[in-house]
Amino acid sequence: MRVRAAAEGDLDAAAELLDELDAAQAAWRVFSPRPGHQDEVLARYKAALDDPDSLLAVAEDGDRVMGMALARVIVPSSFSDERAIELSSVVVHPSVRHTGVGRALTRAVARFAGDRGVERITLKVFAANRAAVRFWEAVGFVPRAVQYTATADDVLVRIESDPGAETSSSTSSSKPAHRE
Ligand SMILES: CC(C)(COP(=O)(O)OP(=O)(O)OC[C@H]1O[C@@H](n2cnc3c(N)ncnc32)[C@H](O)[C@@H]1OP(=O)(O)O)[C@@H](O)C(=O)NCCC(=O)NCCS
């Protein structure tokens, strides 16, 4: 198994792996992807091929691509100019999981970060993706932020079914004025 930067000829295999990843994550998505979302991601992979601040890494077994990872230099914080590597689209073909491919891809991304003088790597993972959470923790990542989400209806049901918590509903339907 060899990890290298992807080339144009790897994009079909990357599209198949993206299908695999989308299927694996479909049940956990909060928001439904808009039509054409996959094409947008594939365009991002293509753009990464010529971008010195991006790496689409592929793991190759013989002439078959069995895994990939996308790394991009970004400025993730709204209050800092510090750069970080955003790691996404990490997926290994099911037939070769647990054989070190994910680890090898992540090593390539960590080396890319060092080459670009970037200290930190960030990624998002669905909390329900227990296998991936264990994988990320095994290779050194720690959770630093948790995104909570609920439908407004669920929140209202929960709050309004708690009789002790009700104070006044006088503002419940008045929307704050929006100023341009
Ligand atoms: C998560 C994923 C990329 C891991 O890739 P992998 O090639 O199977 O991982 P590796 O074989 O390199 O595992 C490295 C270490 O991570 C841990 N690990 C990996 N998969 C694990 C699992 N399912 N359960 C527990 N620990 C796991 C182990 O400690 C492992 O070391 P070991 O093999 O010495 O025990 C792969 O399972 C995958 O493609 N999952 C579906 C897509 C996905 O969820 N991507 C991540 C989105 S954030």
pLDDT digits (tens, 9 = 90+) for 23-33: 999 999 999 99
Question: Which of the 8 DSSP states describes residue 33?
Answer: P
**Residue 42 scores a pLDDT above 80:** yes
Cα 152 to averaged position of ligand 1 atoms, centre (Å): 35
Question: Which pLDDT does position 163 carry in this prediction?
Answer: 72
| 164: confidence class by pLDDT, cuts 50, 70, 90 | confident
Q: 45 CB less than 6 Å from ligand 1?
A: no
105 phi/psi in degrees, rounded to 5: -65, -40
| 166: confidence class by pLDDT, cuts 50, 70, 90 | low
3-state SS class at 69: strand
- Spatial distance between the Cα atoms of 163 and 180, rounded to a whole number of angstroms: 38
Mutation to probe ligand 1, out of 21, 97, 126, 133 (largest number of atoms < 8 A from CB): 97
Query: pTM for this structure?
Result: 0.91
Half-sphere exposure of 64 (CA within 13 A, CB side): 9
Q: 24 CB less than 6 Å from ligand 1?
A: yes
Atom number in ligand 1 closest to CA 129: 44
- Spatial distance between the Cα atoms of 115 and 128, rounded to a whole number of angstroms: 33
